[in-house]
Amino acid sequence: MDLAYLRAHPEHLPTFLTHQRIRETPVSGGDICAASRLTLDDGHSVFAKTWPESAGRPVPEGFFAAEAAGLRWLRGAGAVGVPEVVVALPGLLALDWVEPGEPTPEAAERFGRELAALHRAGAPAFGAEWPGFIGALAQDNTPDPGPWSDWFARRRLMPYLRLSVDDRALGQPEIRLVEELVDRIGELGGDEPPARTHGDLWPGNLLWGADDRGWLIDPAAHGGHRETDLAQLTLFGGASHLDRILAAYDETWPLADGWRERVPLHQLHLLLVHTALFGSAYRDAVGAAARAALRGAGRATVDR
């Protein structure tokens, strides 16, 4: 099987894998999927993701289709590195291989400029035309005209707060903080038209390539707020050369006043996803982000 054959007959890939007709090398695939590098007969490599048997349940309907749709949509902007989708099947996703490299200041600055161009490509509405996932959780992508603050509270904060409460991952103090923030979200300002966003841009979903470029992987792509992608890049230790990324971004498309005070608000979505998925280990982070965001809301009130 070479790349041309695979493109023409993507449905044959699972059979070739089952019968070990393709050289397969396991690689890191994140917290959810099993992943491998497949070396084809022409020497070309692709990155393949499958739903692991260890999950104990079947792959959620539309899981890989959602990722493929998001990757194609992001790639369609022609702005930033996004791997090409080679195969998208209900139980498998294969992408063109990106050779990993090391982050450099120059690559970080290029990525900042390219991310700004991606966001500027825009979206017709908040949400997307396909059902969404973030991690293994469903995400409501119902297209919505906004405003952003109302949409973000209803579609990106409250659903994962409810899941976290149901799983007893949060205590009453954290629940009250998030609920108060939802009630006051309009006080933080920053409403903008929908940007074309990655949607799950923590540093692990930014792949530094050997071509000295940053590549976007594992998206939960949708029309959202550009500040959300940037805020997520600062989580869990922050992306390499983060200051260079942000400076190049702001130079390309200046950010609105008060964006730094809104960082905790934008981070809260992904933190609530983590409490919903992984439990109380992220409880303190949710509380800290909600408190910081409310302090920003207080400043916004005073400023007016």
| Final residue before a domain boundary, out of 45, 68, 96 | 96
Residue 182: the pLDDT is 97
Closest Cα partner for 66 from 143, 153, 20, 129?
Answer: 129
**Statement to judge: residues 85 and 131 lie in one domain:** no
Residue 21: the pLDDT is 78
**Statement to judge: residues 81 and 194 lie in one domain:** no
**Statement to judge: residues 88 and 150 lie in one domain:** no
Residue 170: the pLDDT is 97
In the structure encoding, which two tokens stand for residue 173, read together? 């103090």
**Statement to judge: residues 28 and 164 lie in one domain:** no
Phi/psi of residue 148, nearest 5 degrees = -55, -45
> Distance between CA atoms of 286 and 268, rounded to whole angstroms?
6
Residue 57: the pLDDT is 85
Cβ contact 214:244 at 8 Å: no
| Final residue before a domain boundary, out of 76, 96, 116 | 96
**Statement to judge: residues 163 and 31 lie in one domain:** no
**Statement to judge: residues 170 and 113 lie in one domain:** yes
**Statement to judge: residues 69 and 40 lie in one domain:** yes
**Statement to judge: residues 131 and 196 lie in one domain:** yes
| Domain total of the chain | 2
CATH code: domain of residue 23: 3.30.200.20
CATH code: domain of residue 216: 3.90.1200.10
- Domain holding 293, by residue range, is 105-303
**Statement to judge: residues 280 and 141 lie in one domain:** yes
| Final residue before a domain boundary, out of 67, 96, 125 | 96
**Statement to judge: residues 190 and 297 lie in one domain:** yes
Q: Please give the chain's pLDDT, 304 residues, in tens.
A: 889 989 999 999 998 888 777 888 989 866 789 999 999 999 999 999 998 877 778 899 999 999 999 999 999 999 999 999 999 999 999 999 999 999 999 999 999 999 999 999 999 999 999 999 999 999 999 999 999 999 999 999 999 999 999 999 999 999 999 999 999 999 999 999 999 999 999 999 999 999 999 999 999 999 999 999 999 999 999 999 999 999 999 999 999 999 999 999 999 999 999 999 999 999 999 999 999 999 987 754 433 2
| Beta strands in the chain, from DSSP E residues, in sequence order | 23-27, 34-39, 45-50, 85-89, 92-96, 132-134, 137-139, 195-197, 206-208, 214-216, 222-224
**Statement to judge: residues 140 and 256 lie in one domain:** yes
**Statement to judge: residues 31 and 125 lie in one domain:** no
Residue 303: the pLDDT is 34
